[in-house]
Structures are given as structure tokens and as C-alpha cells.
């Protein structure tokens, strides 16, 4: 009740937006009726997680953050002075050790940091409980004679840990070990006993008695070996922590970790890599410092953050953002951009990501994450002043970087997160015309994610409860944009919206409820780790934007798109989802009468974007029409046809690269078109093989078959459809061949023509398809591509080791090759052998006609097949794009 009354009082005062800072975060004064009211708006904002309570000027908050960091530095300096004095620090844990990362910025301190910047030893005295963590068993190694220069420092560390117990005046103290082997225990005890004769030692080996065994300890020393359950361990350590007993962690698992490692390390305020991580094995970091002061000056997780905050406060960056020459935001030409801004900003973004992924609302934890709370609120404060678009060429460096800083610290697992006043070209900010709704969403899982069909309203907290009983985890996130689709450093107002529109994924399990608040808003997505699990999610306080899924109401969707109440619309199918700006969805629906409803779109998407494209790429699966010529080839050669069971996503928005950029999602600066070349082209990038082009040809030579094939099928299936396939240079290649026949060395003449363009490369492969169809080796020459895909995959799988290769090479058509020789095959040799093998034809006459060289070994391999040869001929369609109408085209013999 006090919180509510204080908040209402503060919101009623104009001074709450611009009050002065105070030195005491807890200072209060009585109101007219003696009520306790906060005078410090920063304290109130931190306590309630409400950036609306902050002073208008960010200076006081920036100074408060500087004071927190300064206090941390002073505290660390004091402890390091007690332990190391003015002595040099020499500590090498070896490569069979671990380094740590802090759970949050002030959860622990870096007692010893390696010269490469990795925390090797950490210390904490939070909540009146002292703890130290080592990435190796320092006690055992000291007992064995290692770390000779470190022995006195280690004794000082033990002294520091035991200070609270010694202050009781007792002469004998108890040390209990757990999760450590008997040999490690004995060696560790030996070293301690030689220096602390009054200590008594116990090894707690009985899981059922663990809590009792640790209950009398003044110091608990733990590793993470053994097979105790996590619940047993955490119950026992909870009791140790509650009694404020000191703890020492010694790592006993070499460079690796165990499932218990991070749960135990949570009591030390740190974490380490998961099981299987290499630890310090490759980094081999160690500490060689002239003093602790030298170490603090050159390392430490807070130093870079402190410098960044000082520069953001004082506007003293050493560079001008206009001098950045790199559109990809790394600004490699300005090293100071990385050191002064990007590196510390990215480290803070990683912290926020961890908070979101673990669904941790730090503003509900009164005693933790103090510095993070202040930094996130500072980002909120900067966010209020952002105005898009910005240009690095004209926007002042400070304004630009304050906005970019706010982008890095956007944080969603919180109750109060005001809408950013300007979202650029992403979205409007005013949704007062929308009445928040509830919706229960039922989906069957499929990787990587699926649209939920609900909209997170900016600045408004949505609630989602997982209502199914599955034990499979899912994750909730907002928006689908790739961060690289926003290019702050590009010229001409490249910074046209927030950088990180897609939120961090928040894990949600059956029965859990999550609260998310986005300053941007956007369509909600659900990520999955498996296929085929039925899940349900109850959403509250969400918007209902134009969204269609199979079985949806076409007319209602079209009406919603035309109503324009939202800036985003989504059409989803089982294997393909379009996430589109609303205006571009209007274009999509008006482009072609064949798909002017979402239901018609879905049918065409399934037929062409999914079935045809995936089948040509050599896949089978749900809603993929099988190709008998591919299935029979796979069966005859014991080849596995891989299954496609993922969802392909498309963002009709702005591209990460060029005018469209492949990936999942792929993104584009155009409206989605079911049979548009650009859309099929970008997905083609996702499935293409670099082997499907002859030597020296540009990369796009392998990309467009998937677009052409879908269009060729539509030419047959859709009466009146004009395929608009690209023109390939059949005419100029034929003219070159004809000229070559007049030369003394036709092959040398053709080789000298220097073909390398993607269109030439694609034409040469299409000619191979025409040869296969002409010779009836394939009823449809396009089916050469999926056969090549199957062989390509099997080839790659078999060349991992000699035994696999020798067992499989004959069935793959490479019986004359050792694995080493197969690994050095160039594209000409591989394509000659693979095409000849998969079609039962000999393609050497075709390569000879074009002057495409191949080795004598490849020639011998093809000769061994005994296949009939293709004609020494070249096909010339009447139009350079008629190959999409039919592969049966006139040919010229030579």
C-alpha cells in the first residue's frame, strides 16, 4: 500500500520528472499527513522499475551509476590490498582449468583476472557471506608443490574467508568438504592443516546426511564431482548460505564441467561454460601482474562499462560517428568505436539477454542487480529522446550513441517498459484505437518457430500462460527482424528504426506464466526445439493484428489488412510463414488474381515454395510431392532422402543485404510474391550446393534452379500463367561454339572465352538437364538437380574417414578415388562424374564442346561406367527464357 501511495504521490508532482538527486537513496520525509514519501526519484524508479519517475535530465542518474561503480572499485581494491598488498601476482591455473563469468555485474568481483581478460578467481561478500571461487583445485596443487609464488596469497584468502568465524572468539574452527573425491580431500586438507593446525576437517560423502554434515562448518569447500542430486546439493547449500557461512569453490573436473557445476557456482555469484565447453584449454589464460593495481587498471568487467558511461555523460568520445566507413556497424576503420562503445555495450546486451532468457524480472528482486537496474533505466531515459531517422553523417555523435546504447539494453521481462516515442519505419506508437484482448493459441511444434497470431502492444504488459502438459520447453519472443537488417552506420539515414527489434527468447514450460513488456511491440512468435508436440498458450492483454493460418477466414483477414489498424500482417502455412509490413501485404494480395486471398496464397505456397522447391533440393517430407525418378535413384544406390520438417520464414520489410538476403528468415525490400523470382531465389540460397557449377563461375550460378523449376511447373499447372523466367545466354554461347569450330583448337577457343557469370553458369547446367531429357535418361531433366543433391550429401557424409569412404565410394560413383583424392576434386571433375553417374550418360563430349577441362582420372572414372555418350550438341531455345516452358528444345550438332 505504501508503494502505491508513494507512486501516486510522485506521479502527481511535476517535480518527479525533474527533481534533484540526493546522496541517500533511502532518504524520506513526511507528507502533510505524516505519510512516508520518497524525495529521491531515482531511488523510486529503481525500486519500482518505473523509468517514468526519473528526472528529465539524465545527469543525476549517470552520476549515480558512476558512484555505484566507484564503490565497487573501492571495495575490490580494499580486498585485494588485504590479500596481495603491493606484491606481484603470478597465477597460472593451466589449461586444464576453468574461468568464470559473473552472474550479474556486482554478484561477485574479479579477484584475479588473466592477462587475456578472463576471470580466473572470483570473490564475493554479498549479503554478509564471504565466498571465493577458483577454476582449479588450488589447494591440491599447492600441496603438490605448484604455485609456489602464490602460497602466501592463498593463506591470505583463507584468512579473509575465516574472519567472520574468527570474530566469534572460538579457537577451533570446522571445515567441511563436499562434492570432492577422497584424494582431492586428503591433498587439500594436507596443505590447509600445515598452516591451520586448529582447523578440523570433514569430508561429507553421504548424500542423505549432506545438510547435517555441513551444518556445523565454519567454511564449506566444494567442488562438483560425484553423483549427488541437484536438489540435495541446493537444499544443503541454501542452509549454508542462510547461516552466512564462508564458502570456497575448487574446480575438480579439469577443463570440463558437470551438470552440478553451475548450480553450485550460483552460490558464488558466477557461472561457467556448460558441460562440453573447453574451459581454459585453448585460451590458456594466466595472470602475470606487477600488482593488483596494475591488474585493475588493465582488466575488469566494470572498467569498460565505467568508461562508456563517462563518455555518454560527458560527451567525450574520441571519434566522430560520421567517420565510420563500415556499413556493417563494426566501424573497423575506427578502433576506438569498438573499445569505447561497442564492446562494453555488447557485454551489457549479453547480460540483458541472460535475464530475459531466464525470465528474471530484476525489479522484483530488491537486493540484487543494483547496477543493472540503473543501467537499464538509463537506457529507458535515453530512449525517450530518440528521433528517427538518423544519419551517421549528420546526427551528433552523442545523440546517435545514446540511442544505440538504448537499443542494446532493451529488456522485456518487466512490468513497466514505456513505449519508445519514435519507432521509425517499424511501426506507429499510438495504439489507443486497439482494445486489448485475450486469445488461447494452440500450435503443434515445428522448428525453428511459428507465429502465435497475437500482437504485443508497445508499452503494455502481455501475459502468457502455458496451458498444456508437455515436458518440452518452448520460448516466446517478439518480432522476426534480423538485427543486421537495421544498419545504423549506412549513409543516408540508415539508422531508421531501433536496431534490435526481435526480442530475446523467453523460455516457457508447461504451467508457467510469463510477463513481457516491449517498448516496440510487434507480432509474437513461439520457438520450438522439436517437431510434433501439441502446445497451448493463453495470452492476455494483446492485440489481434491481421493474421491468417490454414482454416482461417479469408474475408476477415483482408478486411483487417485494409483497415490498417496495425503496421504488420502475417500469413502462415505449415512450412512457410510471411511476416509482412501491412502495406506490403496489401501489395501481395493485389498482385495476382490467382492468390488474392490468403487461402489461395497458402495453396500456391505449399505447391511451389514448399513442395516443388524442397523436392528439387532433394528433400522428402510432409506436403512434399515425391518425384519417382528421385526415389528410384535413391533406392537403387542406397541413398537416404533427407526429410524437411522446418518452417521457412520471410520478412517483407527491409533486407539485411542487397535488396533481398537469404537465411531463415530471409528478408527483402519487396512485397512477398508466391512465384516471384526474388522470393524463390533467396530460399534457393538456403539449399544450393557450391558443387553445381563448373570451375570459375560466380556464386549465383547455383542459386536460381529452384526458382526456374517452380515457374516451369506453374507454366504447366496454371493455365495462362506467364513464367517470366530469366533470360540465360544460350544464343551467345551457341554463337561462340559455332565460331570455335572454325578455329584450329575449338576447345582452347572456348576456354579462352572466359565464362564466369552466374547466367552463363546456370545455362551450362540447364543444358545438362536438356541432354538428360533428350536421351530419355530422365523424363524430366530438372530431376538431375535432386539426384545431384542426394549424391552430394552422401559424398560429404562418406568422406569423414577412410573406412566410411572405402565402404561407400563405389555406390557413389567414385570407386577409383581414395578419400584424399576425393577431397581435392575440383568442380569440373566432380560434376562430370556425378552427372554421368546420376543419369547413366557420358557427359565428356559436352564438356569437350565447351572447352571445360577435366582430369584424366575423372575421364577414366566416367569411362568405367560404360554409359552411352551425350551428343556433341548444344540446345538453343527460340527464346532465351523458353527453357522454363520446356526442356525439349532444338539442338545444333557439332
- 814-852 pLDDT, tens digit each: 999 999 999 999 999 999 999 999 999 999 999 999 999
pLDDT greater at residue 17 or residue 668: 668
544-570: average pLDDT: 98
Distance in angstroms (rounded) separating the CA atoms of residues 22 and 321: 34
Give first-to-last CA distance, the chain, whole Å: 94
* Rounded Cα gap, residues 529 and 471, in angstroms: 12
Q: How confident is the model at residue 800 (pLDDT cuts 50, 70, 90)?
A: confident
Query: Above 60 in pLDDT, residue 430?
Result: yes
Q: What does pLDDT average to over the chain?
A: 93
CA–CA gap between residue 283 and residue 234 (Å, rounded):
31
- Kindly tell me if the per-residue pLDDT of 58 is higher than 60: yes
pLDDT at 569: 98
For a pLDDT cut of 70, what percent of the chain falls above it? 95
Return d(Cα 621, Cα 672) in angstroms, integer.
Answer: 24
Average pLDDT for 282-298: 95
The average pLDDT across 133-147 equals 96
CA distances from 93 to 47, 121, 150, 251, 287 (A): 41, 10, 11, 11, 9
Give the pLDDT of residue 171. 75
Is 112 within 8 Å of 89 (Cβ atoms)?
yes
Give the per-residue pLDDT at 363: 97
What is the Cα–Cα distance from 552 to 559, expressed in whole angstroms?
13
Residue 246 Cα to chain centre, angstroms = 38
Which cell goes with 271? 557461472
Cβ atoms of 78 and 296 within 8 Å: the answer is no
Task: Tell me which range, 7-21, 165-179, 487-501, 851-865, is most confidently predicted by mean pLDDT.
Answer: 851-865
Residue 725 pLDDT: 95
Bridge-based pairing of strands 173-178 and 219-222 is parallel
- Using the structure block, give the residue that is written with the C-alpha cell 559436352: 846
Strands (E), 25-128: 28-30, 36-38, 89-91, 101-102, 109-113, 119-124
Residue 30: which pLDDT band, with cuts at 50, 70 and 90?
very low
What gap in Å lies between CA 158 and CA 851, rounded to an integer?
78
Strands 547-548 and 568-572: parallel
Q: What is the pLDDT of residue 10?
A: 36
Res 13: pLDDT: 30
| Average pLDDT over every residue of 522-527 | 98
> Does 29 score more than 60 pLDDT?
no
Taking CA atoms, 243 is separated from 176, 220, 249, in Å, by 14, 12, 17
Residues 6+ apart with CB under 8 A from 78: none
H, E, C per residue of 261-280: HHHHHHHHCEECCCCCCCCC
pLDDT at 39: 65
Q: What is the mean pLDDT of residues 787-792?
A: 98
Summarize the confidence of residues 570-579 as an average pLDDT. 98
Residue 301: pLDDT band (50, 70, 90) is confident
In this prediction, residue 704 carries a pLDDT of 98
Strand partners, 579: 570, 651
Q: What is the mean pLDDT of residues 670-693?
A: 97
| Mode of pairing for the β-strands spanning 522-528 and 873-875 | unpaired
**Which of residues 577 and 14 earns the better pLDDT score?**
577
Q: For the chain, what percentages of helix, strand and coil (3-state, to nearest 5) are there? A: 45, 15, 40
Say if strands 534-542 and 437-444 run parallel, antiparallel, or are unpaired.
antiparallel
Band of pLDDT at residue 799, cut at 50, 70 and 90: confident
DSSP string, 737-786: HHHHTTSSSHHHHHHHT---SHHHHHHHHHHHHHHHHHTTS-SSGGGHHH
**Confidence class of residue 126 from pLDDT cuts 50, 70 and 90?**
confident
**pLDDT confidence bin for 631, thresholds 50/70/90:** very high
**Average pLDDT rounded to a whole number, residues 344-360:** 94
HSE on the CB side for 380, CA within 13 Å? 29
Query: How many residues comprise the chain?
Result: 894
Tell me which of 125-134, 168-177, 870-879 is least confident.
168-177
Bridge partners, residue 842, by sequence: 869
Q: How far is CA 180 from the centre of its chain?
A: 36
Prior bond of 665 cis (ω within 30°): yes
Percent residues over pLDDT 90 in the chain:
89
pLDDT tens track for 207-226? 999 999 999 999 999 999 99
* Overall average pLDDT of the 423-450 stretch: 98
| Nearest-angstrom CA–CA distance, 583 and 524 | 19
Question: In the prediction, which pLDDT does 22 show?
Answer: 33
C-alpha cell at 199: 582447523
Cell numbers 551517421 correspond to: 392
Task: Return all residues near 294 (Cβ < 8 A) that are at least 6 apart.
Answer: none
CB count, 10 Å around CB of 245? Answer: 24
pLDDT for residue 15? 31
Residue 112 to residue 162: CA distance in whole angstroms? 19
Q: How many CA atoms lie within 13 A of 440 on its CB side?
A: 6
Evaluate if residue 330 carries a pLDDT over 90. no
Cell of 49: 522499475
**What's the pLDDT band for 9 if we cut at 50, 70, 90?**
very low
Q: How would you classify the pairing of strands 199-204 and 891-893?
A: unpaired
pLDDT (tens digit, 9 = 90+) per residue, 234-275?
A: 999 999 999 999 999 999 999 999 999 999 999 999 999 999
Amino acid at each position: 500500500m505504501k508503494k502505491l501511495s508513494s507512486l501516486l504521490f510522485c506521479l502527481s508532482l511535476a517535480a518527479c520528472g525533474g527533481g534533484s538527486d540526493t546522496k541517500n537513496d533511502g532518504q524520506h520525509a513526511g507528507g502533510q499527513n505524516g505519510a512516508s514519501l520518497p524525495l529521491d526519484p531515482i531511488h523510486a524508479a529503481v525500486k519500482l522499475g518505473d523509468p517514468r519517475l526519473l528526472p528529465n535530465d539524465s545527469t543525476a542518474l549517470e552520476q549515480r551509476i558512476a558512484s555505484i561503480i566507484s564503490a565497487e572499485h573501492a571495495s575490490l581494491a580494499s580486498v585485494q590490498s588485504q590479500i596481495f598488498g603491493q606484491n606481484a601476482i603470478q597465477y597460472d591455473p593451466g589449461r586444464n582449468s576453468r574461468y568464470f563469468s559473473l552472474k550479474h555485474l556486482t554478484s561477485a568481483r574479479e579477484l584475479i583476472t588473466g592477462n587475456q581478460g578472463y576471470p580466473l578467481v572470483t570473490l564475493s561478500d554479498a549479503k554478509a557471506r564471504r565466498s571465493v571461487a577458483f577454476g582449479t583445485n588450488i589447494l591440491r596443487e599447492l600441496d603438490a608443490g605448484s604455485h609456489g609464488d602464490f602460497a602466501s596469497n592463498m593463506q591470505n584468502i583463507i584468512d579473509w574467508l575465516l574472519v567472520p568465524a574468527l570474530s566469534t572468539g572460538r579457537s577451533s574452527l570446522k571445515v567441511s568438504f563436499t562434492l570432492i573425491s577422497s584424494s582431492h580431500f586428503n591433498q587439500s586438507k594436507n596443505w590447509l592443516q600445515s598452516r591451520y593446525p586448529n582447523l578440523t576437517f570433514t569430508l561429507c560423502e553421504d548424500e542423505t546426511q549432506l545438510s547435517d554434515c555441513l551444518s556445523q562448518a565454519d567454511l564449506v569447500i566444494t567442488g562438483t564431482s560425484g553423483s549427488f542430486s541437484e536438489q540435495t546439493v541446493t537444499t544443503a547449500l541454501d542452509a549454508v548460505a542462510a547461516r552466512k557461512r564462508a564458502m570456497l569453490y575448487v574446480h575438480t573436473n579439469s577443463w570440463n564441467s558437470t551438470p552440478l557445476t553451475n548450480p553450485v557456482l550460483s552460490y558464488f555469484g558466477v557461472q561457467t561454460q556448460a558441460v562440453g565447453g573447453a574451459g581454459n584449454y585453448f585460451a590458456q589464460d594466466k595472470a602475470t601482474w606487477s600488482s593488483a593495481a596494475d591488474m585493475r587498471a588493465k582488466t575488469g568487467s566494470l572498467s569498460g562499462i565505467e568508461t562508456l558511461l563517462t563518455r555518454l555523460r560527458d560527451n567525450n568520445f574520441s571519434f566522430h560517428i560520421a567517420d565510420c566507413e563500415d556499413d556493417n556497424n563494426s566501424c573497423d576503420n575506427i578502433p576506438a568505436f569498438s573499445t569505447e562503445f561497442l564492446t562494453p555495450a555488447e557485454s551489457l546486451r549479453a547480460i540483458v539477454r541472460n535475464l530475459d532468457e531466464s525470465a528474471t524480472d530484476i525489479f522484483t528482486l530488491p537486493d540484487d542487480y543494483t547496477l543493472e537496474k540503473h543501467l537499464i533505466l538509463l537506457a529507458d531515459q535515453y530512449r525517450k529522446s530518440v528521433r528517427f531517422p538518423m544519419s551517421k553523417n549528420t546526427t551528433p555523435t552523442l545523440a546517435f550513441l545514446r540511442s544505440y546504447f538504448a537499443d542494446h539494453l532493451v529488456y522485456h521481462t518487466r512490468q513497466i517498459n514505456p513505449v519508445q516515442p519514435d519507432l521509425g519505419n517499424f511501426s506507429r506508437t499510438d495504439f489507443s484505437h486497439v482494445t486489448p484482448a485475450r486469445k488461447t493459441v494452440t500450435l503443434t511444434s515445428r522448428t525453428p518457430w511459428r507465429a502465435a497470431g497475437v500482437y504485443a502492444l508497445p508499452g503494455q504488459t502481455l501475459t502468457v500462460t502455458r496451458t498444456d502438459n508437455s515436458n518440452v520447453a518452448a520460448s516466446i519472443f517478439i518480432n522476426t527482424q534480423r538485427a543486421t537488417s537495421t544498419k545504423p552506420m549506412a549513409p543516408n539515414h540508415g539508422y531508421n528504426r531501433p536496431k534490435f527489434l526481435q526480442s530475446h527468447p523467453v523460455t516457457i514450460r508447461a504451467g508457467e506464466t510469463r510477463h513481457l513488456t516491449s517498448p516496440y511491440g510487434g507480432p509474437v512468435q513461439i520457438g520450438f526445439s522439436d517437431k510434433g508436440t501439441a502446445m497451448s498458450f493463453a495470452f492476455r492483454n494483446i492485440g489481434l493484428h491481421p493474421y491468417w493460418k490454414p482454416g482461417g477466414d479469408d474475408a476477415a483477414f483482408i478486411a483487417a489488412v485494409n483497415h490498417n489498424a496495425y503496421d504488420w500482417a502475417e500469413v502462415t502455412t505449415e512450412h512457410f510463414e510471411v511476416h509482412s509490413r501491412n502495406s506490403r501485404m496489401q501489395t501481395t494480395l493485389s498482385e495476382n488474381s490467382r492468390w488474392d486471398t490468403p487461402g489461395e496464397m497458402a495453396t500456391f505456397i505449399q505447391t511451389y515454395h514448399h513442395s516443388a522447391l524442397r523436392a528439387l533440393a532433394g528433400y522428402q517430407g510432409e506436403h512434399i510431392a515425391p518425384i519417382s525418378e528421385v526415389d528410384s535413384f535413391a533406392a537403387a544406390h542406397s541413398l537416404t532422402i533427407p526429410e524437411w520438417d522446418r518452417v521457412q520464414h520471410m520478412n517483407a520489410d527491409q533486407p539485411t543485404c542487397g535488396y533481398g538476403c537469404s537465411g531463415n528468415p530471409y528478408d527483402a525490400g519487396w512485397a512477398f510474391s508466391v512465384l516471384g523470382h526474388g522470393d524463390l531465389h533467396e530460399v534457393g540460397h538456403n539449399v544450393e550446393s557450391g558443387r553445381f557449377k563448373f570451375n570459375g563461375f560466380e556464386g549465383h550460378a547455383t542459386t536460381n534452379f529452384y526458382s526456374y523449376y517452380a515457374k516451369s511447373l506453374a507454366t504447366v499447372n496454371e493455365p495462362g500463367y506467364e513464367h517470366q523466367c530469366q533470360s540465360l545466354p544460350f544464343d551467345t554461347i551457341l554463337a561462340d561454339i559455332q565460331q570455335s569450330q572454325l578455329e584450329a583448337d575449338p576447345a582452347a577457343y572456348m576456354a579462352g572465352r572466359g565464362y564466369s557469370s552466374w547466367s552463363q553458369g546456370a545455362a551450362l547446367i540447364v543444358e545438362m538437364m536438356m541432354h538428360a531429357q533428350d536421351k530419355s535418361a530422365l523424363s524430366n531433366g530438372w530431376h538431375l538437380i535432386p539426384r545431384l543433391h542426394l549424391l552430394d550429401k552422401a559424398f560429404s557424409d562418406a568422406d569423414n574417414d577412410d573406412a566410411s569412404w572405402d565402404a561407400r565410394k563405389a555406390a557413389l560413383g567414385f570407386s577409383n578415388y581414395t578419400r584424399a583424392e576425393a577431397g581435392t576434386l575440383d568442380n569440373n571433375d566432380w560434376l562430370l562424374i556425378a552427372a554421368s553417374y546420376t543419369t547413366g550418360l557420358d557427359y565428356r563430349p559436352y564438356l569437350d564442346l565447351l572447352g571445360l577441362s577435366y582430369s584424366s582420372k575423372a575421364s577414366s572414372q566416367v569411362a568405367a561406367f560404360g554409359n552411352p555418350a551425350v551428343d556433341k550438341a548444344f540446345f538453343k531455345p527460340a527464346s532465351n527464357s523458353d527453357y522454363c516452358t520446356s526442356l525439349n528444345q532444338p539442338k545444333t550438332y557439332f
